[in-house]
Amino acid sequence: MTQSLHRHRTKLALLLSLLGFNAVAVGEVEFLHWWTSNGERKALSVLDEHLIHSSLSVSTSSVLGGGGDSAMTVLQARALAGNTPSFAQIEGPSIKSWDAIGILHNINAVAKQHQWDDVLYPLTIDINRTQNGYVALPLTLHRLNWLWVNHQLLNKLGLEAPKTWPDMFDAMQKARQEGIMPLAIGKQPWQIAQLFESLVIASGGVDFYNTVLVDLNKNNIDSDQMRHALKQFRRLSELLEVSEESVNSTELSNQKWDTATAALANNEALFQLGGDWILGELLAENISVPSHIGCYPAPQSHNIFLYNMDSFIFMKSKSFTQDDAIQLANALADKEFQTRFNQVKGSIPVRSDIDLSSFNPCQIQSYKDFNYAIEHGLAAPSMTDSMAVNPMAQQAINSEIFRYYRDSSVTEGEVIKRIISIAESN
Ligand code: BGC
């Protein structure tokens, strides 16, 4: 630890003790993440405050770009340069890959103290534990197959929230005719590909989704259900491209998901389809949910729970020892903190023993649906949001889906062929 860092810690310890906190050991830790929207920053401030109370101060390195692709590239580059942050936001199977190169602290002592084996859901344990034990700390469970609906516009159009894709397309068509943006979307590949996941589920159900986008099974990728999902996806792209021209908003072509959420909240767009970080964003802007903006399962995905999960990994370095990792992870595993963080983030907790009665009704619904889904084999990991396949395959598939969406000359046969060849080289 450098002299100046030490001085900084000592000053902070003094300040905390003056403020009445019992600071024992104070440390500064660096956190790499991609939480940059207003709602995400609000959740991050819950984390900052909690760590200050735990005698730790965080310096954050945020990398723009929801979904985490850019943050993961930065993390890899930093690891290669031997300059890792103390801890980093991470998702899914890449936790196991990072552990395989021997760069992660295990946090088994924390898992034991917080009874993770008993209170975490089995799917959470699977993702965060390797043969070395717990090598990541889980924090949020996000639901991705949510349709966010602007009730004011829905009423104006005299419509009900759509339960099927034909109804969804009709509603979008009607909105377009009235000069209303039908669906607010972020236009980066991961967000576009996320829309496709809901169409795959609608086309063949959750088992079909799993064989195609989790197992990458060739026979199911080359199937009528897949062709149907792609055709629906093309229809969606046509509806959106045309509608953008008609509402004259060319600036939307580089739109981020939170800009899209602002359009939904400002009564400019009828729908947004996507993860419940959208809820975190709406709550941060004091939008009433579910009265102003309602949450409904994405069409034809009732009872299905498409999820991703944010975890943290703790990275070995001279200035961040195993003891440091345990001290930090212990603070982050705190049940009160995990409750508060999820409440603000829009997600549901990874622990099964947290009372959600003070959460937003959409989170309470999400919690019920999650429990139903895990009991009935209806919970599915999001491929496009890093929960199912390795990052190389994920980015390659996302970009094929994105290309199909953007370029109407790409045929269904072509995209199917390309996804199969990615599956074969996986
Ligand atoms: C993360 C969320 C985040 C979202 C948008 C997802 O990959 O799991 O925590 O809010 O990206 O940035």
User: In this structure, are 289 and 365 located in the same domain?
Assistant: no
User: In this structure, are 205 and 101 located in the same domain?
Assistant: no
Q: Which of 25-29, 44-48, 74-78, 334-338 has the lowest mean pLDDT?
A: 25-29
Mean pLDDT (the chain, rounded): 91
User: In this structure, are 111 and 185 located in the same domain?
Assistant: no
Domain count, the chain: 2
Residue 382 inside a domain? The answer is no
User: In this structure, are 275 and 334 located in the same domain?
Assistant: no
User: In this structure, are 401 and 357 located in the same domain?
Assistant: no
Residue 362 inside a domain? The answer is yes
Ligand 1 centroid to Cα of residue 66, in Å, is 6
User: In this structure, are 393 and 366 located in the same domain?
Assistant: no
CA-39 nearest atom, ligand 1: 10
Tell me the CA distances in angstroms from 134 to 99, 105, 125, 206, 383, one per residue in order. Answer: 10, 9, 8, 29, 23
Residue 25: CATH number of its domain:
3.40.190.10
One-letter amino acid at 32 equals: L
User: In this structure, are 182 and 41 located in the same domain?
Assistant: no
User: In this structure, are 295 and 405 located in the same domain?
Assistant: yes
Domain region containing 169: 146-303+389-424
Which residues have CB under 6 Å of ligand 1? 34, 40, 66-68, 91, 142, 277, 308, 310, 385
Q: Which of 38, 257, 282, 310 has the most ligand 1 atoms within 8 A of CB, as the residue to mutate?
A: 310
Q: What is the mean pLDDT of residues 296-315?
A: 98
Output the six-digit token pair for 382.
Answer: 């999001």
- Nearest Cα to 375, choosing from 200, 199, 122? 122
Residue 292 inside a domain? The answer is yes
Q: What is the mean pLDDT of residues 172-186?
A: 96
User: In this structure, are 9 and 28 located in the same domain?
Assistant: yes
Q: Which of 142, 190, 348, 350 has the most ligand 1 atoms within 8 A of CB, as the residue to mutate?
A: 142
Q: What is the pLDDT of residue 15?
A: 42
Could you read off the pLDDT of 17-70 as tens digits, one per residue?
333 333 334 489 999 999 999 999 999 999 999 999 999 999 999 998 777 889
Residue 256 inside a domain? The answer is yes
Alpha-carbon distance 269 to 282, whole Å?
A: 14
DSSP 159: -
The total of other beta-carbon atoms located within 10 Å of residue 70's CB is 14
User: In this structure, are 66 and 125 located in the same domain?
Assistant: yes
Residue 384 inside a domain? The answer is no
Residue 195 inside a domain? The answer is yes
Could you read off the pLDDT of 361-418 as tens digits, one per residue?
999 999 999 999 999 999 999 999 999 999 999 999 999 999 999 999 999 999 999 9
Kindly give the pairing relationship between strand 348-349 and strand 137-143.
antiparallel
Residue 379 inside a domain? The answer is no
User: In this structure, are 157 and 197 located in the same domain?
Assistant: yes
What b/e string do you get for 102-113 counting C-beta neighbours within 10 Å, with b at 16 or more?
eebbbbbbbbee
User: In this structure, are 134 and 161 located in the same domain?
Assistant: no
pTM: 0.92
Q: What is the pLDDT of residue 382?
A: 98
Confidence grade of residue 6 (pLDDT, cut at 50, 70, 90): very low
Cα dihedral sign, 241-163-199-281:
positive
pLDDT above 60 for 16: no
Ligand 1 centroid to Cα of residue 376, in Å, is 26
Q: What is the pLDDT of residue 66?
A: 74
Residue 335 inside a domain? The answer is yes
Could you read off the pLDDT of 86-108 as tens digits, one per residue?
999 999 999 999 999 999 999 99
